[in-house]
Amino acid sequence: MKQYLDLVKHILDHGEHKEDRTGTGTISVFGCQSKYDLREGFPILTTKKVLFDAVVWELLWFLRGSTNIKDDLTQHTPIWNAWAKADGELGPIYGYQWRNWEKFVWDEASKTYRKEHIDQITQALDLIKKNPDSRRIIVSAWNIADIDRMALPPCHAFFQFYVVKGRLDCQLYQRSADVALGVPFNIASYALLMAMIAMECDLTPGVFTHTLGDAHIYLNHLDGVKMQLQRAPQALPRLEISKKKVLEYKFEDIKLVGYNPAAFIKFPIAV
């Protein structure tokens, strides 16, 4: 994961001080890109421990279309607790947009609009299987009409799949990137999603391209990332997943083998 360490070093060397919504303050650059080839191993940080179980639980939660932290699958990942309402609801965040994007259709008989929903994940899977050369294999979480209803607007906003020579690639555009705390999680999450989709579609998971808008390190994360830069990356682990359809995966179908990271570094979350 030298690519990630290069990103951290680039921000430290070239970033500019910028205030932010949380009041914490950041060092920030705008417009970065890193590439991670899944054929070389599963891209998860080894210079600090990343809670892979939490990555899995959150992704499965998104894929179910869930938006409430009291859903029984979220008991292992409290990531969203800080933004949830008292009843656990977060509004139409990632899972809702991925699986239930709202669409209004004119009903000629009643002369009114009726609400329907678009399952973007199913549509993407269908396109990969039936029209793999399509340049429209896209899933968006950035629904401008729903932003005000969301507890937190999507940071990882838009991703696209690319199929070539039996390989599945993916590019994610992330508008806001908390490089110390969030980005390692995002890399692992989208790499896992790629692998699951590739498995269903009989493809080899290839290159994950991570494109960042505002890539920032919070000022209270500086000591931690500097500690990471002093650690040498270790061999990447191997992902083992069952042969199943994407929307049928359960936690026990996904395993990370040979993951031996350096010690965990605790970074405070900026809310």
- The CA distances from residue 56 to 11, 73, 165, 232, in Å, are 28, 10, 28, 26
Residue 11 is assigned to a structural domain of this protein? yes
Closest by CA position to 253, among listed 186, 200, 214, 187: 200
User: Which one of 57-61, 188-192, 220-224 scores highest in mean pLDDT?
Assistant: 188-192
pLDDT of residue 111: 80
Per the prediction, the chain carries an average pLDDT of 93
| Mean pLDDT in residue range 64-87 | 82
215 found inside a domain: yes
Closest listed residue to residue 227, CA positions, set 270, 172, 266, 190: 266
Range of the domain at 65: 2-253
pLDDT at 23 over 90: no
Instruction: Please indicate, yes or no, if residue 261 is contained in any of the structural domains.
Output: no
Residue type, 36: Y
Q: Where are the beta strands (DSSP E) in the chain?
A: 16-18, 26-37, 101-107, 112-118, 138-140, 156-164, 167-178, 204-218, 238-241, 254-257
Q: What is the CA radius of gyration of the chain?
A: 19
Q: Compute the distance between CA of residue 49 and CA of residue 32 in angstroms, rounded to an integer.
A: 24
Q: Is 208's pLDDT higher than 90?
A: yes
For residue 202, tell me if it sits in a domain. yes
Q: Which band of pLDDT confidence, cut at 50, 70 and 90, is reported for residue 76?
A: low
CATH of the domain at 239: 3.30.572.10
Q: Is 155 an annotated catalytic residue?
A: yes
Establish if 259 belongs to a structural domain.
no
Distance separating alpha carbons of residues 232 and 217, to the nearest angstrom: 20
Q: Which residue of the set 32, 155, 170, 201 is catalytic? A: 155
| Residue 213 vs residues 36, 64, 154, 157, 173: alpha-carbon distances, Å | 18, 27, 13, 11, 7
Q: How far is 29 from 42, CA to CA, in rounded Å?
A: 27
Band (73; pLDDT cuts 50, 70, 90): low
Please indicate, yes or no, if residue 152 is contained in any of the structural domains. Answer: yes
**Residue 102 burial class via C-beta count within 10 angstroms: exposed 0-12, middle 13-18, buried 19 and up:** middle
The amino acid at residue 99 is R
Across 33-41, average pLDDT: 97
Confidence bin at 65 (pLDDT 50/70/90): very high
Check pLDDT > 80 for residue 74.
no
Distance CA 191, CA 77 (A): 18
Q: Does residue 271 form part of some domain?
A: no
Q: Is residue 262 part of a domain?
A: no
Structural domains of the chain, count = 1
The predicted structure's pLDDT at residue 71: 80
* pLDDT exceeds 70 at position 37: yes
Tell me the C-alpha distance between 63 and 56, whole Å.
Answer: 11
| Residue 79 confidence class, pLDDT cut points 50, 70, 90 | confident
